[in-house]
């Protein structure tokens, strides 16, 4: 199967190449803001929003008289920025994103530019349009092997700046071997995962994964460096040094979180044939009083990574409806009780007297839902399978569900 996969490398540009990279990032940001201004004028006049092609034609006519530096950068940077703007308006109309905003020079997320066209990869260098061969701090052997074997094709290259470091992300169309459908032979191979804040994840087998909480641990230092930055005079050398120290700390927080999510999702997709998670309303939770903790946990990114890695390795990702009462339901007798406040960490069943950690109880309920989904005893409207039809393997599970659930209940009573 053909998938889109990104290969990210840190660059080691010289002084001239750093200036060229900064010029392309600035050109992409300028073109994006210019295109957004044209779209706002069209909306105020009651006209339709121009497409990316129309914006690019207007940009080509306007740039010759107003921006003389356009000859110093590749045409790909503003062209791809206008395409990103059109995509942003499309997502806004579809209700998937907010209205597009102007990009800021100081924002870490806005310091990006994308190239298409002639992009070549060497052992320790990456060739970009109008910039040339830029040395890479990492070896590109894996990508070179795929390119030489004809199993990969470079689609685009995105450069980004994080504090004082430059990175390039090569988006490639990679031919991966089609994963064999992994049949669930044992019920222990199905895992229910309850995501939380005290612990990042609690598995149905009792495993508890603690979250690194990089933002919470670095919050005191972040406040100190932010205060130090606010005391500096803007434009001075001390102001630039304080800005760099703060940006480096933000980069460290982001890297710790990203590394944790990649390791956990890769292990789950490789070792578990079926993973059951809950469809959490992250957008709603991010607006509550626990917004900082929810953002630090990054549940949405965890689900996104787990979804595409399950497709790569042939695992099944079963997403349970967000209104499924996993926390209120007793994992032993199935009685649905009252709604538990966040401060109450122990689930107590009034029907059978079960006392269990609320996160483990929810994980066991998700595990049972996954078993029922695989055996075909629930409808497809209550959950979704990110990897296609999950009906196969149900026959192998049907004969063992009763005995295995009895063993689970005995473990709960103990």
Question: What residues are annotated to the active site?
Answer: 194, 278, 359
Distance CA 114, CA 120 (A): 15
Contact 138, 170 (CB under 8 A): no
Give the pairing of strands 2-11 and 165-175: antiparallel
């Amino acid at each position: 199967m053909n998938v889109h996969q990104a290969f990210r490398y840190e660059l080691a540009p010289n002084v001239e190449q750093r200036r060229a990279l900064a010029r392309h990032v600035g050109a992409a940001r300028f073109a994006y803001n210019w295109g957004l201004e044209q779209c706002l004028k069209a909306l105020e006049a009651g006209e339709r929003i121009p497409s990316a092609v129309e914006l690019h034609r207007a940009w080509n006519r306007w740039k010759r008289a107003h921006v003389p530096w356009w000859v110093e950068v590749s045409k790909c940077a503003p062209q791809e920025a206008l395409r990103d703007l059109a995509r942003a308006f499309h997502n806004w109309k579809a209700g998937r994103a907010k209205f597009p905003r102007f990009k800021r020079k100081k924002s870490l997320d806005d310091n990006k530019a994308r190239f298409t066209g002639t992009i070549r990869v060497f052992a320790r260098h990456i060739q970009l349009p109008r910039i040339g061969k830029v040395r890479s701090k990492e070896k590109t052997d894996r990508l070179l092997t795929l390119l030489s074997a004809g199993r990969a094709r470079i689609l685009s290259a995105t450069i980004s700046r994080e504090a004082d470091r430059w990175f390039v992300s090569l988006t490639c169309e990679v031919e991966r071997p089609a994963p064999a459908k992994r049949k669930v032979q044992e019920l222990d191979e199905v895992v229910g995962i309850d995501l939380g804040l005290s612990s990042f994840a609690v598995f149905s087998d009792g495993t508890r994964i603690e979250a690194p909480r990089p933002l919470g641990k670095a919050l005191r230092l972040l406040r100190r460096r932010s205060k130090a930055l606010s005391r500096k005079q803007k434009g001075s050398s001390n102001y630039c040094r304080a800005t760099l120290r703060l940006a480096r700390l933000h980069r460290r927080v982001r890297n710790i979180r990203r590394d944790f999510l990649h390791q956990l999702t890769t292990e789950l997709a490789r070792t578990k044939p079926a993973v059951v998670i809950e469809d959490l309303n992250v957008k709603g939770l991010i607006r509550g009083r626990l917004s900082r903790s929810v953002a630090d946990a990054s549940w949405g990114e965890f689900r996104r990574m787990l979804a595409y890695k399950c497709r790569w390795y042939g695992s099944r990702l079963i997403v349970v409806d967000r209104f499924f009462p996993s926390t209120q339901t007793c994992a032993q007798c199935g009685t649905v009780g009252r709604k538990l406040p966040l401060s109450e960490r122990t689930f107590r069943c009034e029907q059978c007297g079960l006392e269990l950690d609320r996160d483990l109880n929810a994980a066991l309920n998700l595990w049972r839902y996954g078993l029922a989904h695989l055996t075909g005893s629930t409808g497809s409207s209550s959950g979704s399978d990110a990897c296609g039809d999950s009906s196969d393997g149900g026959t192998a599970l049907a004969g063992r569900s009763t005995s295995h659930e009895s063993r689970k209940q005995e473990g709960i009573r103990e």
